[in-house]
Structure formats: structure tokens, C-alpha cells
Amino acid sequence: MPVSLTGQPIRPGQKHRVNILALGDVGATMLIGLRLLGSDVISSIGICDIRPENCERLVREINQIRYPDGRPELPAVRIVGEKELFDTDVMIFCASRGVPDIGKEKDPGFDVRMAQLDANRAIIEHYAALARERKYSGLIAVVSDPVDNLCAAFMDASGLKPWQFRGFGLGVMNARAAYYAEQDERFSMYAEEGRAFGPHGQDLVIANSIEHYDDDLSRELTQMAVGANLEVRALGFKPYIAPAISSAAISILLTLKGEWNYGSLYLGDENRGAFLGIRSRYDGDKWDYEDPELPDKLYERIRDSYIRLCDIR
């Protein structure tokens, strides 16, 4: 039988304590978004980083972001130690090791995200042990690449429940598809009828429309979304701003509000399964995800992506 996604790691619409592990480019940018936009669902934000001076800098700078009259009152940022990471409602995992250098993506067959998998597994195992020791009952939000595989690794190593994990990588792929769709009227249906499925990487599935699906157009738009990060890297920059805001800050806040957004949920049973990116929300008791009737060609693309995720786990 499929593993149940019923459980209560968060309380939609209420205020939550949030802790963030690792404040690199993605984590720090996400932190700005959470501070500015999260006053209605975040009570406080704890930050933890391997570099103490980075935390000291951010606790000063981020707490100095505020409106002139003090309203709305933005969530306070404080420094937390490793032992306090799981004394929270939501732990956001942004730690990453071995981010490939600019130019590495030119190597034939190189996948920037999958190159980080093995290195980040080791980090996951350490913090999974801490979560297991604390008998953590809240939500673990995985932002580090590759999010879907790292969600599975964290769940397996920690022994926590599938409903305690959500991967945040698909939001920016939807945003990238929407961006390119604005540039070409052939993709104009995407804004209202399109969807994104699958992982934040090569096996992404973009559908130009659910009701009027065109396989050729959808595959073309998919490749444009997948290659968006390479375009930024080709300019000499690491593409972290859009992922930090679209996949992480905005999607995490929508999750805490109980609203629809893009993220990865565990689909499968105890023996075989994977975290698959899909439009979904938390309704206060369980994770709810869209399950529309799909054209055969689109279903086959999503199925193939899911099977490959199962095999990598």
C-alpha cells in the first residue's frame, strides 16, 4: 500500500519558528525573502552556519531590514547552535558541499545538480542523526540540490516520517518556464494552463497545458527551463537568486499558509518510492496534491521521471 502523507508537521496559517542551516548564497538570499514576506506565518528565524562570522554579519544586517514605522513587525533573526537546530517547527536545509565551478558545465554529459549528490549525502547523514536523536516532529524543508534525492536520503537516514519532508526545487523551474513562455506566444497557454512536474534537473517535465497538451512544444519549453541556469553560468555567475526566492522563500511561505505551490512529496510504498515535484499544498492534516487526468504522452514523461528518481535513491 502507498505510504500515507497524513501527519501534522506544521499548522497552516499560524506562526512558526523557523531555523536555517547554512547561509551561503542561496540561504542568505532566501533569508531576506523570509524576513520581508513572512511576518504572518513566521515568529522567529534561527540561523546556523559553519562560519560564525557569517552568522554575526547576517544577524546584524537582516535585523536592520525593517519598515520606517516598524509595521509590519518582521520576524526576528537570531543565531542558533547545531544542538538547537531541531528545536523548531521548520528546519530548512541549505547546506551544500562541492558546488561546481563556473565552466564545469561545459563538460559533456555534466549535470551540475547531480554532481553535488554524493558530497551532500554525507552532510545529510550527520544532521539526520541529530534529527533522529531529538525525535524531531516538525517539517524538514530541503533546498539543497538535488532536492528530491536528498529528501529521500534524509528520510532514510533519520527514520522520520515521509510527511515530515518537502523538497523545494520545482518552484523556480515553473518560474523559468513561465519566463520563457512570456517571450514566445507559442507557449502563451502556460501561464494559466501549464504545469511543472518532476525534479529540479534534467528529468524535469514541463507541460505547456494540461487540457491542450502539445508534446513537442512542452519538450521544447522543458529544455529552455532546464538550460536557464546554464545561461546564467555562461555569463560568469552562479544562478542562485531565482531559486532562493521562487523555489525556497515563496514556496516555503505558501506551504506554511496552506496554499498551493510547487514542491516534492514522497510517492510510493515502504519498499520503493521517490520524492516527486508536483503542485501541492498542506491542508492542516495531510499533503494534498493535484491529480488531474493526464494525456498519455504527458503521463509517460512523468512516469519515466519518477522511475529514474526511484532508481537513484
Residue 132 counted as domain residue = yes
Amino acid at 128: A
Residue 41 counted as domain residue = yes
pTM for this model (two decimals): 0.94
Give the total number of structural domains in the chain: 1
What average pLDDT values come out for the chain (313 residues) when binned by 10 residues? 96 98 97 98 98 98 95 96 97 82 53 68 92 98 95 96 98 98 98 95 94 98 96 95 98 98 97 97 97 97 97 82
Residue 121 has what pLDDT? 81
Residue 10 counted as domain residue = no
Residue 117 has what pLDDT? 75
Residue 9 counted as domain residue = no
Residue 101 counted as domain residue = yes
Residue 49 has what pLDDT? 97
Q: Are strands 273-282 and 287-289 parallel, antiparallel or unpaired?
A: antiparallel
Residue 2 counted as domain residue = no
List the domain range (segments joined by +) for residue 27: 16-171+234-312
Residue 269 counted as domain residue = yes
Residue 239 has what pLDDT? 95
Q: Which CATH number goes with the domain that contains 274?
A: 3.40.50.720
Residue 147 counted as domain residue = yes
Residue 122 has what pLDDT? 84
Q: At what angle do helices 52-63 and 25-37 cross, to 10 degrees?
A: 30
